[in-house]
Amino acid sequence: MQWLFTSLLIVVSAGIAGYTGYLLRRLFTAPPGPPDVPAEQTP
């Protein structure tokens, strides 16, 4: 029975690590947003 929980822990840990890697890759490869421009431009 112990091997079941050990394998379950390994699978859950791998899933968390994979999802974290996916989020980090999506964060750093996201296209840049529009530039911040002031609402009112005074000459």
Q: Name the pTM for this structure.
A: 0.60
Tell me, what's the pLDDT at 8? 97
Give the CA distances from residue 1 to residues 4, 7, 11, in Å, rounded to whole numbers and listed in that order: 5, 10, 16
Kindly report, residue by residue over 1-43, the tens digit of the pLDDT. 899 999 999 999 999 999 999 999 988 887 777 766 666 655 6
Distance between CA atoms of residues 19 and 16, nearest Å: 5
Distance between CA atoms of residues 43 and 40, nearest Å: 10
